[in-house]
Amino acid sequence: MNAPTRAVSVLHVDWTRCDARGSCTELLPELLRTDPWGYPLAAGGGSDVGVPAHLEAAARDAVGLCPVLALRLITPAD
C-alpha cells in the first residue's frame, strides 16, 4: 500500500486577478482543472490546493509564468 502524498505547500488562485488564460492548468493538470469559463479550480474544487513535493517545481513555474500574478505559493514558513 502506498503512503498518501503529503502537501508541502498550498497553491492559491486569486480569481479577482485571473483572466482565464489557462497556462496554470496546462502546467499543473494534476492539481488544477478549468471551470466552464476557463478559470482554474483546484482539482477538488475551490481556490486552494495542496502541492506535494514532486510538483513543487511545476507549481513555482506556474506562479512565475502567470501573466496577471493570480497565483501564490504558500509554504509553512510564510
Cell digits of residue 3:
503512503
Q: What is the average pLDDT score of the chain?
A: 89
Determine whether domain 7-74 maps to CATH 3.30.70.20: yes
Tell me if 71 sits within 8 A of 13, measured CB to CB: yes
Residue 4, all three cell numbers: 498518501
pTM: 0.84
- Kindly state the helix (H) or strand (E) to which residue 60 belongs, with its residue range: helix 56-65
pLDDT, tens digit (0-9, with 9 covering 90-100), for 4-18: 567 789 999 999 999
Q: Where are the domains of the chain?
A: 7-74
